Amino acid sequence: MRRVYLDHSATTPVDPEVASLMMTYYTEKYGNPSSIHSFGQEAREALEKAREQVAGFIGAQPAEITFTSGGTEADNLAILGAAEAYKDKGKHLITTAVEHHAILETFEFLAKNGYELTVLPVDEEGLLSVDGVQRAIRPDTILLSVMHANNEVGAIQPVAEIGRLAREKGVIFHVDAVQSLGKIPVNVNDLNVDMLTVSSHKIYGPKGVGALYVRKGIRLVPRVYGGGQEKKRRSGTENTPGIIGFGKACELAQARMADEAAKLTGLRDRLMDGILERIDFVKVNGPRGAKRLPNNVNVSVQYVEGESLLLSLDMVGIAASSGSACTSGSLDPSHVLLAMGMPHEIAHGSLRFSLGRQNTEEDVDYVLEQLPKIVERLRRMSPLFDQMQREAGAK
């Protein structure tokens, strides 16, 4: 059976070049980068090269990069670390309703522990209003966190403008760029950010590695104490092979980004237009065109359950998602779609296809061949669809 992986926003395969480089640092050059002998030194050199590769990809200085165990830890370090470091200046925090759980849950923890939190709404496309951000900022606001691109609907936020505003008002600005890295330009200076989160496994690097960019001069209280690695910001022996793999993945992504984005945009639109053409009662979620990530398709298929769609697609070899990987398994509809004003019953029938490096037009056409048949079969069993059709017929 054909197998088509369309869940690259959940994770990506490790690039073979990345994997083979990493293997060397597991089996041959396995020194601890803090050791002073030659084993340690060769690991240290490779680690610092990776730091340059990650920094170079986002326009930062190597000294501004702290490696972590992933995007989640980088988000936690940014928010908890800055909230603690700047608590004497104020205790008001701002974020948005469509953030990843690594952001939302962390802010909610702080809101239960003496901080005040404003959660900004988005419009029906999932986009934030810059005016809304401006109105939310108060004299005691210390931290603002806005994601660059949304992991469910691909909406790209006006981060550069928001950053300019934050800087004017003296508010620290953090951006989760896990989904945008490698797909659209991410530059910490163009985006006017103070801190920025990236993750390796979303860009064809290994899982369990990420980084937080922290602009020089921004203070941060560590969350992990110990041997003082990563300039005391994140103790613990570095995941050397993982970090080296992440560095290589950044180098490859930087070289390929322009070509890949153009190809993905073509596939995205072929899939989105094809679905709209072949299936009735379908709605595209998120913005169209340039405000959408080149690899994201998200649709609500009315009168069917997202979970049933996913299972049926899986049976014909197609891997998609009903929103974010983290919330699948739970039957709660996506917090992102609800924040965009979608009624519960429609949010339940939502599907995300996220395209990647290896996908082809044939993959897209296979989905366009299978999905309409699956939807038709599921709707035949749906009492809601039946009722809707009888009511339409009676008119």
Cα 186 from Cα 226, distance rounded (Å) = 32
DSSP run (H or E) holding 287: none
326 catalytic? Reply is yes
| Residue 199 among known ligand-binding residues | yes
| Residues with Cβ within 8 Å of residue 92, at least 6 apart in sequence | 115, 116, 117, 118, 138, 140, 141, 142
Binding mask 84-123 for ligand PLP (x = CB under 6 A): ----------------x-x---------------------
**Least Å from the CB of residue 211 to ligand PLP:** 10
Q: Which among 42, 5, 26, 10 has a CA at the least distance from the CA of 207? A: 10
Of 36, 311, 326, 381, which residue is the catalytic one?
326
Query: What size, in residues, is the chain?
Result: 395
**18 near ligand PLP, judged by CB under 6 A:** no
Instruction: Quote the strand ranges of 164-280, DSSP E.
Output: 172-176, 195-199, 210-214
DSSP state of 66: E
Which residue of this chain has its Cβ atom nearest to ligand PLP in the complex? 71
Cα 118 from Cα 38, distance rounded (Å) = 51
Q: Which among 388, 364, 395 has a CA at the least distance from the CA of 302? A: 388
Cα 302 from Cα 217, distance rounded (Å) = 50
Looking at the Cβ atoms of 144 and 282, the one nearer to ligand PLP is 144
Looking at the Cβ atoms of 42 and 176, the one nearer to ligand PLP is 176
Q: Give, as ranges, the residues between 200 and 239 that touch ligand PLP (CB under 6 A).
A: 201-202, 210
Among 71, 126, 245, 306, binds ligand PLP (CB under 6 A): 71
- Count the neighbouring beta carbons within 10 Å of the beta carbon of residue 387: 11
**Least Å from the CB of residue 39 to ligand PLP:** 28
Among 42, 64, 176, 363, binds ligand PLP (CB under 6 A): 176
Cα 77 from Cα 72, distance rounded (Å) = 9
Q: Give, as ranges, the residues between 122 and 161 that touch ligand PLP (CB under 6 A).
A: 147, 151
**7 near ligand PLP, judged by CB under 6 A:** no
Binding residues: 71-72, 151, 179, 199-201, 237, 326
Q: Which residues bind ligand PLP (CB under 6 A)?
A: 70-72, 75, 100, 102, 147, 151, 176, 178-179, 199, 201-202, 210
Enumerate the active-site residues: 326
